[in-house]
Amino acid sequence: MTDPVGTFCLVLHSHLPWLARHGRWPVGEEWLYQSWAHAYLPVVDVLGRLAAEGRRDLLTLGVTPVLAAQLDDPHCLRGMHDWLGGWLLRAHGAAPRLPGLAVREHRAATAALAVFEERWRHGGSPVLRDLAGSHAVELLGGPATHPFAPLLDDTVRAFALDAGLTDHTRRFGHRPAGIWAPECGYAPGMETGYAAAGVERFLVDGPALHGDTALLRPVGDSGVLAAGRDLDVTYRVWSPRAGYPGGPDYRDFHTFDHPSGLKPSRVTGRHVAPHDKQPYDPVRAAAAVARDAADFVRVVRERLACIRGRLGRPGLVVAAFDTELFGHWWHEGPAWLEAVLRALPAAGVRVTTLRGAMDAGLVGGPVTLPESSWGLGKDWNVWAGDAVADLVALGGTVQRDLVTSAAGTSSRARDPLRDALAEQALLALSSDWAFMVSHDSAADYARGRARSHADRVAQLSRLLAAGDRAAAATAVASWEPGPFGHVDARRLGRPRPTAGLRPR
């Protein structure tokens, strides 16, 4: 067999904010259950099937701690089981009006229920641990609640990362050496904190490396490697303007049969009104999957051939996507994913994980990275712009309350009240709230969530400062359970100066 033309790394980033007991629909637990049913179940099924064939190092899978907590949470597990049963009932109800759609959805719901009851009923961690243990995937960790780390004080940033890495270790049995930096957010100097936490590699968007993403790159003299997302390849699938999921033969995400909530139409055309869209045809969709998978393999191979010609050695292509694209947003995404993972090796492309790329020596010279993210404009504006100035200010207050509260204890024992304050602070600092406001997507819900968690932090901070532990305990007892019982406020250590909080 000839040497591979180069190496391809697929990175999937699985994340949702903490939704348990915080609304149901249109924003809340429904979001979790849809993503679980239509993306997490089928994607893991694809990976499990390929692993059973003896395939290894298929892709790098990021699962944020706050999502992993929900996949293990008894309340969410019960809710997911109920949701799958509701999906089956909705399929039954659609049969008189849409018999073809009802049959397809009945089969899909039945299969999902069987998989969930057989493998997921006791939580997602055992399922993902099996995939990692079979070396099918490399699991990435990250900060606990997916905060936009460049806006965090160094002390809070280190605390959030430590809480996330600790959670990963508890669920999956190992401390991860790679992380998904939330929103691919980076500020100069963050690599020092990564190195101190034992992180060896993280993701940035391609423009942070000026598009030169053909090798992993050490950041300064830290020894920590940055993997850059190749946008020319990634945007072939999903871009702000184009990509395979918008093809006319794929199922349309936005068009509903309102009585059942099912999706009966194909995209048909980008400017076709919902009532004019054509019925979904699985045969046409399968042909589109085969065509687009072959196109992607061609694009990757051609990209790697160009890199090899430029470098004089085999190089690397990293394509990174939200996991929720595959099945939730793009119904046919899991089938496309399986087709690509089967076809790339046959086309002379080595498929591996970020760890595998590092072990293979696909590492270039050191780089200096600028402030960056994978948001619109590739800067910090989505999370720090004028539209979210109130949330930035709120986050600053939350951080100061958190650091001040942690400094207020001299006990060697854990303090459950300060731990509860720390958990609420982490939830308030989630990057999702600013993202949703900047994109005008359930902005009221996002602002309400950020403020509710911040208000709890402020309330508890005041009560603890006043020495009123009885009232503080009463307040905490009235809150719904959170994701991280292991959060230990003592791990904040001695507070550093908060001058690092940068006005925006």
Q: For 248, which DSSP code? A: T
452's CB contacts (< 8 A; 6+ apart) are none
Instruction: Please tell me which residue in 57, 153, 167, 183 is annotated as part of the active site.
Output: 183
Helices and strands: H and E segment counts in the chain = 18, 9
Task: State the Cα torsion 261-264-267-272 to the nearest 10°.
Answer: -80
Task: Write the DSSP symbol of residue 145.
Answer: T
Bond prior to 495 in cis (omega within 30° of 0): no
Neighbours of 282 (CB within 10 A): 14
Catalytic residue among 322, 371, 379, 390: 322
Looking at residue 44, what is its pLDDT?
A: 98
The Cα 142–Cα 144 span in angstroms is 6
Q: Measured between alpha carbons, how far is 80 from 329 in angstroms, rounded to an integer?
A: 18
Tell me, what's the pLDDT at 239? 79
d(CA 197, CA 491): 13
Instruction: Give the DSSP per-residue string, 411-471.
Output: -SS--HHHHHHHHHHHHHTBHHHHHHHHTTSSHHHHHHHHHHHHHHHHHHHHHHHTT-HHH
| Rounded CA Rg of the chain | 23
Q: Is 122 exposed, middle or buried (0-12, 13-18, 19+ CB in 10 A)?
A: exposed
Q: CA-to-CA distance for 347 and 343, rounded, in angstroms?
A: 6
pLDDT score of 240: 65
**One-letter amino acid for residue 46 of the chain:** V
pLDDT score, position 500:
35
- Could you list the beta-strand ranges (E) of 208-300: 217-218, 225-229
pLDDT at 397: 98
Per-position pLDDT tens, the chain of length 504 = 468 999 999 999 999 999 999 999 989 999 999 999 999 999 999 999 999 999 999 999 999 999 999 999 999 999 999 999 999 999 999 999 999 999 999 999 999 999 999 999 999 999 999 999 999 999 999 999 999 999 999 999 999 999 999 999 999 999 999 999 999 999 999 999 999 999 999 999 999 999 999 999 999 999 999 999 999 999 999 876 789 999 999 999 999 999 999 999 999 998 999 999 999 999 999 999 999 999 999 999 999 999 999 999 999 999 999 999 999 999 999 999 999 999 999 999 999 999 999 999 999 999 999 999 999 999 999 999 999 999 999 999 999 999 999 886 667 789 999 999 999 999 999 999 999 999 999 999 999 999 999 999 999 999 999 999 999 999 999 999 999 999 999 999 643 433 333 332
Residue 271 half-sphere exposure, CB side, CA atoms within 13 Å? 0
DSSP labels, 22-47: S--SSSSHHHHHHHIIIIIHHHHHHH
- Decide: 144 and 180 in contact? Cβ < 8 Å: no
In order of their start, the domains of the chain are: 6-141+176-359 (3.20.110.10), 381-500 (1.20.1430.10)
Decide if 276 is catalytic: no
Q: Which of 350, 372, 369, 370 is nearest to 359 (CA)?
A: 350
The 3-class SS string of 155-224 reads HHHHHHHHHHHHHHHHHHCCCCCEECCHHHCECCCHHHHHHHCCCCEEEEEHHHHCCCCCCEEEECCCCC
Q: Where are the beta strands (DSSP E) in 96-170?
A: 137-140
What is the structure's pLDDT at 242? 83
118 is catalytic: no
CA end-to-end span of the chain:
55
Strand order in the sheet with 201-205: 178-179, 201-205, 225-229, 217-218
